[in-house]
Structure 1
Amino acid sequence: MTTKTMAMEQQTVQDGNKLASVMTVAAWIALTIGVITCLVNVTEFSDRNLGLMIGVGFLIGSVQIYMIGAAIRLFHRDKSSRGSI
């Protein structure tokens, strides 16, 4: 019975690491899109420039996505360390 419980917890930790890795990749993709969009639309630097504002949104969103992925990884790491004690 104990081995089944431990195997299920280990699988949950692995799923959490996969999700965190996917979130990290998504954050890098959003950052790349944001930088490219900002560089293309930087000629008219104002708040009425929709392309520039979308680029800034991607930059801010990439940081948020990365932070959520890091939090998922930390929560699953904490869960696995509690299960092994």
Structure 2
Amino acid sequence: MTTRTASANEVNHSGRDVGRLVTMMTVAAWVLLGIGFVLSLLNLHHFSDRNPSLMVGIGFMVGSVHIYVIRTAIHLVHSRAASRTE
């Protein structure tokens, strides 16, 4: 019976590096939040549900929060999986 050893350089990472995805989603969430904020401020004079640009601005802001929550979940799952493999 032999014992197999592996150094850190020989380990094959089967998981994906999600750092770029997390960064991209963070930037997208902030950009969409900014667009929604600007759209909402420009059309605040007629505060009604019949104001489509105000509703789109609010939708952009809500969507940016969803993107940021999904980004956080991906980041947490990946960091937890990485800490288990070490």
TM-score in terms of structure 2 length: 0.84
- Match in the other structure for 1:32: 34
2:80 and 2:11 map into 1 onto residues whose CA distance is: 20
- What is the CA distance between 1:8 and its match in structure 2? 3.6
For residues 31-51 of structure 1, what are the alpha-carbon distances to aligned partners after superposition, in whole Å with 9 as ceiling and x for unaligned?
Answer: 000000001111100000000
1:83 and 1:19 map into 2 onto residues whose CA distance is: 21
Q: Give the structure, 1 or 2, with the largest relative contact order (CA under 8 Å, sep 6 or more).
A: 1
Q: Which of 77, 80, 83 in structure 2 is aligned with 1:78?
A: 80
Q: Structure 1: which 5+ residue stretches go unaligned? A: none
- Match in the other structure for 1:4: 11
Bigger helix fraction: 1
Supply the RMSD in Å over aligned alpha carbons.
1.5
Q: Which has the larger radius of gyration?
A: 2
1:76 and 1:16 map into 2 onto residues whose CA distance is: 7
TM-score in terms of structure 1 length: 0.85
- Match in the other structure for 2:65: 63
Percent sequence identity over aligned pairs: 44
Q: Which runs of 4+ in 1 moved over 3 A?
A: none
